[in-house]
Amino acid sequence: MSMREWITHLIKLLFPPQVLLPDIVGIDIGLTVGAIAIMVYLTVRHRWGWLWREWLTTVDHKKIGIMYLIAALVMLFRGGVDALMIRTQLIGPRAHFMGAQQYDEVFTTHGTVMIFFMAMPMVFALFNAAVPLMIGARDVAFPRLNAISFWIFAFGAILLNISFSIGGSPSAGWMSYPPYSELAYNPGVGENYFLLSLQVAGIGTIATGINFLVTVLRMRAPGMSLSKMPIFAWSALITSSLVLFAFPPLTVALGLTMLDRLFGASFFTVAHQGMPMMYVNLFWIFGHPEVYILIMPAFGIFSEVVPVFSRKALFGYEAMVGSLLAISFLSYGVWVHHFFEMGAGPGVNVFFGLSTMLIAIPTGVKMFNWLFTMWGGRIRLTVPMLWQLAFIPTFVVGGATGVMLAAVPADYQYHNSYFMIAHFHNVIVGGTVFGVLSGMYYWWPKMFGWKLNQRQATWAFAFFVAGFWVTFMPQYFLGLEGMTRRMATYPAGLGWTSLNWWSTMGSYLMAVGFLIMVYNIIWSRLHPDWDTTGDPWDGRTLEWSLPSPAPEYNFARIPHVRSRDEWWAMKREGRTDDVKISADSVQPIHVPRNSAMPIMLAAAFFVGSIGMVFSWFWMAILGGLGVVAALAYGSFADYSELTIDAAHVLKTEAAMGRVDS
Amino acid sequence: MDGEEQIDTAPTGHGDEVEVGFLAPRIHAAPFPGMQITGYVLSMALTLAAFGLVAYHWLPLSSLVTVILVLAFIQAALQLGIFMHLREARGTAWHLPVLALALFVGLGIVGFSIWIMLFKSGVS
């Protein structure tokens, strides 16, 4: 028996056919026990007040960033377990770990969770953690709206995540195309969960977009003109504007589907002259800019990481900004490449095929700019830099296969095959996930005040990246061999067995990488390596001029920006004492007060959504009234700001050695 | 409402203020939100009119679409002008060029969608 057969055999022994994996009742019991355990712990340790004051009602962008990060990592786990279930099912021909229905539910949840509840919050975590600090602001433009965004996202995520144990999971894929997502073919509440959770989370996303758009445009420190702004702030600005343009079509598409399912309309049904393809059109008007919403922040992160760890200014700043703008503009004119096969005709298909290929040009510009930044630089192979180095070849392969997919006649072959699956995992994992992980390791000391152990993080990196290549390279060839996406099982003798086995092994390697990452975080928390300098990487931008973690008010004294990499310039010119305050010049600082309104508003949305999912309209109305009540309270409540008095600021800054004597 | 009042512009200090006539700062100040209330009533009326047209078949289909589009444009103008502070800015009115871009992208999406979905007429 070969090694490969032996491993397959072992997995089959461990998970006998047709047992629900994981057993839902077991999960339910586990969740209940876990929730009770957390509550008992909070009660015994008297931490409820702390939790409420410090986290649940906070409007501080730094804490909201940390909560986004935790949520994103939990969702990465959930989506990752789904991925492992998918890969285990496909380990060999005729493997029946799950039935077809459960398999459909698992891949639907995998896609939805990874895009909307892992990648998006991870991006917002880094926006919150870094953008206000690097532009010299004391908070985002609308701190309470920021908290509302987070809690609405969190309750939307909970809504999707409870679906499998309460009522049933959605099963129509993360795009939920009609007519299969319509009531006639998909009865039950699963699809309702999908529609409501994305609708609710989408409100939070749009609010975050508005927030960071205004923050970057209005809250910059004096002297920081747009052309002196760090590229990550540029990417936040452009991502936010993409969010504003892209999410309304999704809202419309989901809303109309909801009217179809709950109130008997027929916008997208087959019966009564509905137009199912109009949903597809609307979804991808959102969907294509969405993938740029995911990748732009990664571009921004790499544009920060590369100069710092090459000890060189970014090569071609203007070209970087220009290419970001070009990509964002072009991204609105490419969406038909997701459905060339609809048959809109050669004119339409050629137009959108060509516009898709055009995007490769500004992306290529960025690639070369990163390479030229590294060229001749003094490169330090830290963990953020390792993720960046892994990103470059990965994204080039992903981008090149994207151009292959944009060729219309060839796309009739590639469409919905594993070739396409491999392509978009190549760009989303190899681009976005590598990017946000690079950013997470880069800004971790600034967020938490302690560093992650580099050796462990390097092992996590090695397993994850190796696993990534082993998982997705075979899938290109599976696609060329004719394997289509979403197959619950496949027969032997098609030449797919060996490639699938390797792909599954790769996914296990990625899982090991993730486990090491979690171990790394826990170990580094228990053996903290405190960042006392505030500038562990010898950084270039303003966030590194602050202590780690930054005090509640961020800047005791708002800096006057003179050059592009201001902190670097201050260090070169010996102006680092500029960040210090003196006892006679210190001013009281106004910060926004904590508010319980955001979490209440989000809870009301949650109650209303549950009502809509199960068509309990009394409950939906109750939730709706709760939303109105929370908004009314929010409009009329007393929002006098909290004043941190000068003596307290002086004491805090003095404790960190930032007062001129 | 009660006359236009020039306020001191609050320079942001970022150095991206420009001197262009139609982007110059201007702001309305009124003690009573009369314009907002008028706008609210008008937008309700426009919404109800559009709903009534569809629900009670007051017009034949051919003219219905045109009338609803006209109502929608009036509605959008009302929202932008009254509630979205289209004509007001404390600093340079940067939102005007951005709004033009939004209009361009929005009309592009609608136009492209019509072009894309025309294939239905060839099929059915």
Structural domain includes residue A33: no
Contact residues on chain B for A224, CB-CB shorter than 8 A: 14
CA distance A224 to chain B (A): 5
Contact residues on chain A for B113, CB-CB shorter than 8 A: 281-282, 285
Beta-carbon separation of A218 and B12 below 8 A:
yes
Query: What pLDDT is stored for residue B5 in this prediction?
Result: 45
Beta-carbon separation of A278 and B105 below 8 A:
no
- Chain A residues at the B interface, defined by Cβ less than 8 Å, are 217-218, 220, 222-226, 245, 249, 275, 277-278, 281-282, 285, 332-333, 336, 342-345, 348
Structural domain includes residue A624: no
Q: What is the mean pLDDT of chain B?
A: 80
Dump pLDDT digits (tens) for B27-41: 777 778 888 899 999
Structural domain includes residue A14: no
Structural domain includes residue A126: yes
Is 70 exceeded by the pLDDT of residue B11?
Answer: no
Q: Exposed, middle or buried: residue A585 (CB in 10 Å: 0-12, 13-18, 19+)?
A: exposed
Q: Which amino acid is at B48?
A: L
Beta-carbon separation of B119 and A342 below 8 A:
yes
Beta-carbon separation of A275 and B117 below 8 A:
yes
DSSP element (H, E) containing A597: helix A597-613
Structural domain includes residue A614: no
Q: Which amino acid is at A422?
A: A
Mean pLDDT per 10-residue run, chain A (661 residues)?
A: 78 60 72 91 90 93 96 95 92 85 92 96 96 94 95 95 87 92 91 95 96 93 92 96 93 95 91 90 94 95 96 94 94 92 88 94 96 94 96 95 94 94 95 96 95 95 97 96 93 93 96 96 94 92 93 90 93 88 85 91 96 94 96 84 86 86 69
Q: Are the C-beta atoms of A224 and A565 separated by less than 8 Å?
A: no
Structural domain includes residue A305: yes
CA distance A180 to chain B (A): 20
Interface test with A, best of B116, B117, B120, B124 (most A CBs within 10 A): B116
Chain B, 95 to 114: residues with Cβ < 8 Å from chain A are 102, 105, 108-109, 112-113
Query: Measured between alpha carbons, how far is residue A517 from residues A57, A88, A454, B26, B58 in Å?
Result: 29, 22, 11, 54, 64
Cα atoms in the Cβ-side hemisphere of radius 13 Å centred on A395: 24
Q: How confident is the model at residue B3 (pLDDT cuts 50, 70, 90)?
A: very low
CA distance B14 to chain A (A): 5
Phi and psi based region of residue A158 (left: phi greater than 0; alpha: psi -120 to 50; beta: remaining):
alpha
| Token couple for A268 | 């997208």
Q: Which amino acid is at B7?
A: I
Is 80 exceeded by the pLDDT of residue B12?
Answer: no
Residue burial B84-113, b: 16+ Cβ < 10 Å; e: rest: eeeebbebbbebeeeeeeeeebeeebeebb
Q: Exposed, middle or buried: residue A606 (CB in 10 Å: 0-12, 13-18, 19+)?
A: buried
DSSP helix, strand, coil percent of chain A (3-state; round to 5)? 70, 0, 30
Q: Are the C-beta atoms of A240 and A212 separated by less than 8 Å?
A: yes
Within 10 angstroms of residue A379's Cβ, the number of other Cβ atoms is: 16
Beta-carbon separation of B122 and A345 below 8 A:
yes
Structural domain includes residue A40: no
CA B97 to chain centre: 14
Structural domain includes residue A576: yes
Domain count, chain A: 1
Dump pLDDT digits (tens) for B60-93: 888 898 999 999 999 999 998 888 888 777 777 7
Contact residues on chain B for A225, CB-CB shorter than 8 A: 14-16
Chain B, 9 to 48: residues with Cβ < 8 Å from chain A are 12-16
Contact residues on chain A for B16, CB-CB shorter than 8 A: 225-226
Query: What pLDDT is stored for residue A455 in this prediction?
Result: 95
Beta-carbon separation of B119 and A348 below 8 A:
yes
Q: Where do we find the tokens 């923050």?
A: A215
Beta-carbon separation of A225 and B113 below 8 A:
no
CA distance B67 to chain A (A): 21
The structure's pTM equals: 0.93
Beta bridge partners of A627: none
Query: What pLDDT is stored for residue A342 in this prediction?
Result: 87
Q: How confident is the model at residue B6 (pLDDT cuts 50, 70, 90)?
A: very low
| Token couple for A479 | 């696609």
CA distance B110 to A205: 23
Interface test with A, best of B9, B14, B109, B112 (most A CBs within 10 A): B14
Q: Are the C-beta atoms of A168 and A106 separated by less than 8 Å?
A: no
CATH at residue A277: 1.20.210.10
Within 10 angstroms of residue A1's Cβ, the number of other Cβ atoms is: 7
Nearest to B13 among A222, A281, A343 (CB): A222
Contacts of A642 (CB under 8 A, 6+ apart): A590, A591, A592, A593
CA distance A575 to A571: 6
Query: What pLDDT is stored for residue B13 in this prediction?
Result: 61
Per the document, the length of chain B is: 124
Contact residues on chain A for B117, CB-CB shorter than 8 A: 275, 277-278, 281, 344
Range of the domain at A247: 47-595+637-660
Beta-carbon separation of A281 and B113 below 8 A:
yes
Q: Is B61 on the interface with A (CB under 8 A)?
A: no
